[in-house]
Amino acid sequence: MTIEEITARICAFRDARDWMQFHNPKELAVAITAEAGELLQHFVWQQPGQIEKRVKEKMPELKDEMADVGILLFELAHNLGVDLGQAMLDKIERNETRYPVAKAKGSNAKYNEL
């Protein structure tokens, strides 16, 4: 499925409800952060050995929170005139330089701490 197809569906939903008036970039960033917080909420206090079980129990909720973050993110990129897919590929390319395989393999250090 393409990002563009889904984005078109998101915008049609929004415009049918005349919601663009509420969706300035700040409000979308607020909503993305709040939904990311809901996603995170499912993992609070969970220890490494509990994650797999947690994920199985909470799959419908996790799917829902991921969808919410995605919907808001696709709309924000669209409203800002950003090609999100291209921005992601550009970022990965930049990360190729920041995290060269020879230095970054098996390490979780940040690029400025490698």
Residues 1-30 that bind its own copies (CB under 8 A): 1-6, 9-10, 13, 16-19, 21-22, 24-27, 29-30
Cβ-contact 26, 10 below 8 angstroms:
no
Looking at residue 99, what DSSP letter applies? S
If one asks whether residue 84 binds its own copies (CB under 8 A), the answer comes out as yes
Query: Cβ 2 to its own copies, closest distance in Å?
Result: 5
User: ∠76-60-11 over CA atoms, to 5°?
Assistant: 25
Cβ-contact 68, 35 below 8 angstroms:
yes
Residue from the set 53, 71, 97, 112 that interacts with its own copies by CB under 8 A: 71
If one asks whether residue 34 binds its own copies (CB under 8 A), the answer comes out as yes
Query: Cβ 26 to its own copies, closest distance in Å?
Result: 4
Indicate the angle between helix axes 3-16 and 59-79, nearest 10 degrees.
80
If one asks whether residue 98 binds its own copies (CB under 8 A), the answer comes out as no
If one asks whether residue 76 binds its own copies (CB under 8 A), the answer comes out as yes
Single-letter amino acid code for the residue at 71: I
Range 42-61, binding its own copies (CB under 8 A) = 42-48, 50-51, 54-55, 59
Query: Cβ 57 to its own copies, closest distance in Å?
Result: 9
Region label for 106, one of left (φ > 0), alpha (ψ between -120 and 50) or beta (otherwise)? left
